[in-house]
Amino acid sequence: MTKEPITMTQKAVDRLKVIQQVVGKQLRQQEAAWQLGLSVRQLRRLVSRFRSEGAAGLVSRRLGRRPGNALSDAMRQEVMTLVRNHYADFGPTLACEKLAALHGRKLSCETLRQWMINEGLWKPKARKAPRIHQRRPRRPCRGELIQIDGSPHDWFEGRGSRCTLLVFIDDATGELMALHFTPTETTQAYMKTLRGYLSEHGRPVAIYSDKHSIFRVNRPDCDGQLTQFTRALVSLDIEPIHANTPQAKGRVERANQTLQDRLVKELRLAGICDIDAANAFLARFVKDYNQRFAIAPQNPADAHRPVLHGSQELEWIFSLHDKRTLSNNLTFQYKNREYQLTGRGKGYRLRGAQVTVCEAFNGTVTVLCKGHLLAYRILQKGQPAIPLDDEKTVHQRVEAARKKQHIAPKRKPAPDHPWRHSPIGKAAQDPPAGLPESALEKRTFQLGRKEDILELG
């Protein structure tokens, strides 16, 4: 008679070997119980069952039976219907959170992950060969080291234009300290975000960034020069640190990956498709994110320091600075404009002096000399210089140019328009006889320009 095969787990196979040694008088019961992690009483039960039923007696009676706490098929079908309709591209962890918060369906993330894998909604990620990087321990205190980075991404999934999220994260706790959406990664955007950070938290000890031209002058012939953003950090007594590789500031890099998954889906659920609405939404998102992912620091002391500068001084710090040397008549050139100091007193003392020109992002120009404000007037205005761009801002310039060029051209005035009855309008319609065609076109063009019309009038 052919014996039927017995299905056993690895745990039962290990027990079988030990029980056979106990039955064969090769091992004491106390030693066997210690090897299997059982009590002597339980071991005796297993020995008795083995003698009466053989190896099959060591197989668990619950093997192959449905667990008592298993979820019903109706529950599984309902959950998977919700996932397909609303969270098809969500990860199992985030989908599990939304099912519990919005639909009242609480289940473990691993259960949902297995269901999504079986339904083809989630593919397990293949483990990559680990790369060896020297692990840097976290800073002990909150506010000692703040990692910053910009994350360009399609945050609105085609519902709005692409933009960049500026991320400030604390190294000690992993807490999001500041988030701000901006069209591109610029000095102005970082200064605005940093100023909001200072008003909410105070001054950190150091800020950790990459080697982008916003943070570091990368030309070898300009070694030691500071960028506008780094100059602001030095003025505020904040230590600037530049990472040599992305892995060196891995906390903010990993936070960017998490935000590109979670924040994108939160914006979708909230129906947000523009930068202003997204920035208003960030405060609620940051609070929930920090409650979920932030950890307690090793040292409970907060390393943030109070801001010692006043509001007006901060305005000057968070502006674009440039140095100029005064001429003998107290004038200097700045962006195709000529400025002259108008302050009363013995102005000749300032001849040849070096002044600091502070240009705010709204276009306001302030002139400082040794911390003192100098009055001025503009002698001559010229065309503004073309600003410089890099690979992160050129797309915004192109989009702005396209919008400007697609503006509908001005229509010709109607036949009964008052302009046609003015002397200038009649001159444009009835030019003097005898003019050649090229001169006629030139005169018509000049008469159509506003500044030429004013000169002729």
Helix axes 187-201, 228-235, angle to 10 degrees: 20
Question: From CA 318, how far away is CA 316, in angstroms rounded?
Answer: 6
**pLDDT digits over 64-80, tens only?**
677 777 888 899 999 99
| pLDDT at residue 453 in the model | 35
Higher-pLDDT residue of 287 and 124 is 287
Question: From CA 335, how far away is CA 386, in angstroms rounded?
Answer: 10
**pLDDT digits over 430-443, tens only?**
555 554 544 444 44
Higher-pLDDT residue of 106 and 380 is 106
333: nearest Cα among 380, 390, 271: 380
With a cut of 50, say whether residue 450 has pLDDT above it.
no
Q: Give the residue ranges of DSSP H helices in 103-180.
A: 109-118
With a cut of 90, say whether residue 198 has pLDDT above it.
yes
Which of the 8 DSSP states describes residue 246?
G
**pLDDT digits over 150-163, tens only?**
999 999 999 999 99
Which long-range contacts (C-beta less than 8 Å, at least 24 apart) are formed by 240-243?
Answer: 240/206, 240/207, 240/209, 240/215, 241/145, 241/206, 241/207, 241/208, 241/209, 242/208, 242/209, 242/210, 242/211, 242/215, 242/216, 243/208, 243/209, 243/210, 243/211
Residues 6+ apart with CB under 8 A from 95: 83, 87, 112, 116
- Mean pLDDT, residues 224-230: 90
Question: From CA 33, how far away is CA 40, in angstroms rounded?
Answer: 6
| pLDDT at residue 139 in the model | 93
pTM for the complete prediction?
Answer: 0.68
With a cut of 90, say whether residue 230 has pLDDT above it.
yes
| pLDDT at residue 385 in the model | 62
With a cut of 80, say whether residue 185 has pLDDT above it.
yes
**pLDDT digits over 113-153, tens only?**
999 999 999 998 877 776 666 678 899 999 999 999 999 99
Which of the 8 DSSP states describes residue 298?
S
With a cut of 50, say whether residue 457 has pLDDT above it.
no
**pLDDT digits over 329-368, tens only?**
889 999 888 999 987 666 678 888 999 999 998 889 999 9
Helix count (H) and strand count (E) of the chain? 16, 14
| pLDDT at residue 260 in the model | 95
With a cut of 60, say whether residue 15 has pLDDT above it.
yes
According to DSSP, the β-strands at 365-369 and 354-359 are: antiparallel
Kind plus residue range of the DSSP H or E element containing 367? strand 365-369
Mean pLDDT (the chain, rounded): 84
CB contact at 8 A, 297 and 142: yes
**pLDDT digits over 291-308, tens only?**
999 999 999 999 999 999
| pLDDT at residue 8 in the model | 72
Domain residue spans of the chain: 10-58, 73-118, 141-302, 311-381, 418-456
CATH number for 141-302: choose from 3.20.20.10, 3.50.30.30, 3.30.420.10, 3.40.50.1820: 3.30.420.10
Question: From CA 338, how far away is CA 27, in angstroms rounded?
Answer: 101
| pLDDT at residue 419 in the model | 61
